[in-house]
A and B are shown apart, each in its own frame.
Chain A
């Protein structure tokens, strides 16, 4: 069965591009755009990988991640964080929140794909 990726991102064209790349790679991609309902959505069904934007409407990616890490079921869920704020301090903030991997926007498709492969494999 193909691996399941949940993409939480609010930019429609980024969603479309990432979805296309990952689907072409054989992954099953589901998308969600609202920060406030992200955790509830994750409780419904857990993906093999969560790709999370930082700046989301309603709630930041950092807050979503912190809540995830506090719940036993999602404490070890692989999370790839994407952000337009790529400074070292932002990376450290993501690490403190419990991120598995961090990529600054704009990223290359190849690097993103490589990272996704490595994270879903680690889940296997």
Chain B
């Protein structure tokens, strides 16, 4: 049912909210109750002066009755339906649903938004709990101290009596442990608070570099314009730790080299035609795939190809650069999904892998990932090159590919995928237990 035919439903809803009887509203509007009844059930159109009068009596703008306040609500409902594959939701009747049952519709939209927020929170917290060694140590320290205090205090209050020497000893222990607990708690709070501030204050040097790039949307106009990367590093890295500054300097030197080899204007022109395809840049500019991927990931956010994500790892699989996408998060603390093509690429050096990926347990769109491993150091006689792998991720645009999407996770701890051959540790998100869930 089209939206403009639901004016009556909105009048009825508003009247009921105000606690008005149909007969009273009809009388005040100068029409019969039966006519208002027909209007309220959308069997008579309403407009002109009568609409204005009824809107006035109900204390709303006439447009609220004719157009509804539910445009945003309908969009939210469509989004909710889109997030669940094969939900069976009657999308062609979403207007009617929002119009007839606005309360339920709002509840559904709000619940969906809340689920989104909670999922993000769970992911963040689970990831930190599982992979943040500092947090894990701090919690272990606190629980151990609490255990000592609880056991000792219980001994002192339990019936049975305690020898005065032991009493003194236990009092001293409780005193020591309570001081330790206070220190650990303060330290944990300071750590958690610092997490909300710049990564420079709390993270690893690599995270400090990631934070600098994030703060600038991974695009640095000064370097694009040919500025000296050392000067840019001095400016941007003033608050970083000394190691963070070294890493930032190295990363910015590479950015500057990439920008010189693939000038921004020419790359923007290219991606307007080919989209975020690193191999197209390789052909067009005669560059290597890793550089093409890095270049795509440092384009301005409004580039015609859209925002591109990037993960770089060394030959041990440790991430050395991360630019996540909303649909493709990359954990801050190692332990990524071994199914990402980033890692198989290390065993197939110089071969560009292209995969269609979907995040397990997320009803988001598929992404296209390209990955390649290539030497990170210049060739030397009789010396094996040191490899690094790049993986570029771009949201899939346009027509849907017929290629099936491979389900990958973020990290095992927060991945719901079952029967995963690459599972390293059980998931916190339920699923089967025992060997299968492991």
Interface residues of A (CB under 8 A from B): 11, 13-14, 16-18, 20-21, 24, 55, 84-85, 87-89, 92, 105-110, 112
Contacts and interface: CB of A to CB of B under 8 A. Distances in A.
15 contacts: A14-B147, A14-B151, A16-B169, A16-B170, A16-B173, A17-B148, A24-B160, A55-B140, A92-B433, A92-B434, A106-B143, A106-B146, A106-B151, A107-B151, A109-B154
Given A13-B176, A85-B140, A92-B433, A109 B155 contact: yes
B148 A13 contact: yes
Interface in B154-180: 154-155, 158, 160, 166, 169-170, 173, 176-177
Contact of A13 (B140, B152, B158, B428): B152
A17 B143 contact: no
Sorting the interface of chain B by its residue count into under 10, 10 to 19, 20 to 34 or 35 or more gives 20 to 34
B173 A21 contact: no
Contacts of B145: 11
Given A17-B155, A24-B160, A84 B433 contact: no
B279 interface: no
A88 B144 CA distance: 19
A88 B433 contact: yes
A106 B177 CA distance: 14
B152 A84 contact: no
Contact of B143 (A16, A84, A89, A108): A84
A92 B173 CA distance: 33
Contacts of B152: 13, 16-17
Contacts of A17: 148, 151-152, 155, 170, 173
Nearest to A16: B173
Interface string B417-434: 000000001101000011
B265 to A, nearest CB: 53
Given A106-B143, A110-B154, 14 more contacts: A11-B144, A14-B151, A16-B170, A17-B148, A17-B152, A17-B155, A17-B170, A84-B143, A105-B143, A105-B144, A105-B147, A107-B150, A108-B150, A109-B158
Contact of B155 (A20, A89, A105): A20
A91 to B, nearest CB: 10
B176 to A, nearest CB: 7
Interface in B42-86: none
Contacts of A85: 140
Interface string B386-413: 0000000000000000000000000000
B140 A11 contact: no
A16 B170 CA distance: 9
Given A13-B176, A14-B148, A106-B150, A21 B143 contact: no
Most chain A CB within 10 A, of B144, B169, B426, B428, is at B144
B139 interface: yes
A116 to B, nearest CB: 13
Nearest to B166: A20
Contacts of A84: 139-140, 143-144, 147
Nearest to B146: A106
Given A13-B177, A16-B169, A89-B426, A108 B154 contact: yes
Most chain B CB within 10 A, of A17, A89, A107, A112, is at A17
Contacts of B177: 13
Contacts of A20: 155, 166, 170
A108 B160 CA distance: 16
A11 B155 contact: no
A24 B147 CA distance: 19
